[in-house]
A and B are shown apart, each in its own frame.
Chain A
């Protein structure tokens, strides 16, 4: 045995091996993600937006509803970086406030969609047989429903009742996330089911079954994590889709009360001002666009990073 002197860093000894950080799959994925430039750009932009809407309204001094006719429809300036709308309200403040809603609706709805979709897909994929067929028929049924008209109808129906019971803002928020999330889980379910079906046949699952691993453990510990990479990609795209859908709803006049400045609502208000104040249209539209764009880039990067076929 040699003396216990510190070995050279690249010498392949047990110590150096232990000293190196373990290479997990997640680390690998993160490294791959980092190399995807648009994705990193998207991530930074998105994080910036999130931080901005979280602390912005407390930091930015203009209130969202201060009507000031002397300052109507002003183009962007130092005191109003995004200009003012036709009642003299500061657009930047309204965008920051509205961003809170738009982003949180996106995230929460996505979580709902992913939860429901994963559960249904997992059950269908794992149990198989009749349960699978029934669940998949049900999924197909829901996919075949025309989404936008359905959204219109449901919002019509339930907005008032929810408003009665838990207040207008929470009520509308709840309605939006349930409806938007509830119509987006189907692709996730399909993905998860497909993954489960293929994983089920793999040898390591056969091994687990032989070992007597209980079903729930099989699903949660062995199958789900492997399906997860697909789910993450789908989830990130779902946020983008939900944000777009929420702004479409607001643009059609449904959704939050008229003085609540969600981004879609801001576009709706600005629609009449194309003539005299195009900046009122451009800024909210740009916010929606940039948010969705950055999420799409992130999704692309995730897909790249989590794709098992890609060489590391």
Chain B
């Protein structure tokens, strides 16, 4: 198993390199210049702008810049923002906790909804409950997140005034009040994300459990006289969850990028909104930092998914 893991890690390195190369190339080709402001200013001689660009190595050929970026990355230096010379690592760290908090809570919520709903739905297939749950699932992931976001704002902020629209990380309160305020702010983005994710998850859980529930060993367990909950939860679901868990692991990177729009709408100061701001500002180091983080996440979770699959399903052995 360890050999498998090691081999996978070694293989992922060229993948990461490839990803970073593609991304860097695309970003370098994008029109726009972080020093556009200066060019507009008639008082700054063009030579100065040239010097600035040289300083940051903007005029070197693409492959040179890529190699430079890569070597500093390996040394742990993620570079500085073109815009304000803040460390890219700092910028990302300032925002990562918020994104993780919102996404993580949303995902947990989605799990808490999807698991029971999906399982019961599968067990009581074709019942009213099943139909309702399936409909809910369909509705949930057919709604675009920006639409749900807008609707939520319309209902909860504009009409009801219960929830604030602007996400603030700076809350002056303590203890229970603090918690309540935090929840109030995060409620809408979390609900929007959770709705979408729980819908998808419910379907997966349901179809996995369905696959398993008709199998012989489940019937045997029932025949043995075990109580229904035990049959379902201990025998069926445990096995059904294996593909679900791997799919969850594979989905997590997609969730990060999917949260981009939600962060925009609710003004959550997370990585997604930083990415959009830096794309607009042609701030290459920040863009590369964030996008590379995504790529690392994807590769890591792919690996985790494969490993989990091997661990959970004893039938699968990796040589």
Contact = CB atoms under 8 A, between A and B. Distances in A.
A and B, direct touch (CB closer than 8 Å): yes
Interface of A: 38, 137, 140-141, 143-150, 152-154, 156-157, 240, 244, 247-248, 251-252, 267, 271, 274-275, 278, 281-282, 285, 288-290, 292-293, 296-297, 300
7 contacts: A146-B256, A148-B257, A156-B31, A251-B261, A288-B144, A293-B142, A296-B141
Report which residue of A146, A244, A271 has the largest number of chain B beta carbons within 10 angstroms of its beta carbon: A146
Interface string B253-264: 110111011001
Contacts of B298: 143-144, 146
Contacts of B18: 141
B138 A144 contact: no
Question: What 5 pairs across the A-B complex have the smallest Cβ distances?
Answer: A293-B142, A285-B147, A292-B142, A144-B298, A146-B294
Given A285-B151, A288-B147, A293-B139, A148 B260 contact: yes
Contacts of A293: 138-139, 142
Contacts of B299: 144
Interface in B220-246: none
A281 B295 CA distance: 35
Contacts of A244: 144
A153 B154 contact: no
B142 A296 contact: yes
Contact of B27 (A144, A153, A282, A300): A153
Contact of A281 (B15, B27, B143, B150): B150
A99 to B, nearest CB: 15
Interface residues of B, number: 45
B163 interface: no
A271 B150 contact: yes
A274 B257 contact: no
Contacts of B261: 148, 248, 251-252
A300 B139 CA distance: 13
B19 interface: yes
Contacts of B119: none
Contacts of B23: 145, 150
A291 to B, nearest CB: 8
Given A248-B146, A293-B138, A293-B139, A146 B295 contact: yes
B40 interface: no
Contact of A148 (B11, B138, B139, B258): B258
Contacts of B31: 156-157
A141 B135 CA distance: 35
B143 A149 contact: no
Report which residue of B15, B158, B258 has the largest number of chain A beta carbons within 10 angstroms of its beta carbon: B15
Q: Would you call the interface of chain A mostly helix, strand, loop, or mixed?
A: helix
Contacts of B316: none
Given A144-B299, A145-B295, A289 B279 contact: no
A150 B19 contact: no
Contacts of A147: 254, 257
Contact of B138 (A157, A267, A296): A296
A18 B138 CA distance: 43
A303 to B, nearest CB: 9
A157 B139 contact: no
Nearest to B294: A146
Nearest to A294: B142
A304 B298 CA distance: 31
A278 to B, nearest CB: 6
A105 to B, nearest CB: 15
B128 interface: no
Contacts of B14: 137
Nearest to A248: B261
A289 B30 contact: no
Given A144-B19, A251-B146, A296-B138, A149 B260 contact: yes
Nearest to B293: A146
Interface string B21-58: 01100110111000000000000000000000000000
A281 B158 CA distance: 14
Nearest to B292: A146
B291 interface: yes
B154 A278 contact: yes
A146 B253 contact: yes
Nearest to A151: B257
B212 interface: no
Contacts of B26: 150, 153-154, 157
Report which residue of B142, B275, B287 has the largest number of chain A beta carbons within 10 angstroms of its beta carbon: B142
Contact of A289 (B15, B22, B143, B254): B143
Contact of A153 (B158, B260, B279, B290): B279
Contacts of A290: 142
B102 interface: no
Interface string B91-129: 000000000000000000000000000000000000000
A163 to B, nearest CB: 13
Nearest to B199: A296
Contact of B146 (A38, A146, A150, A267): A267
Contact of B15 (A141, A153, A275): A141
B295 A274 contact: no
Contacts of B151: 281-282, 285
B138 A289 contact: no
Contacts of A156: 30-31, 279
Nearest to B16: A144
B153 interface: yes
B108 to A, nearest CB: 23
Contacts of B19: 141, 144-145
B66 to A, nearest CB: 16
Nearest to B301: A144
B295 A289 contact: no
Given A145-B23, A281-B151, 10 more contacts: A143-B298, A146-B298, A153-B30, A248-B261, A251-B261, A252-B264, A267-B147, A281-B154, A289-B142, A296-B141
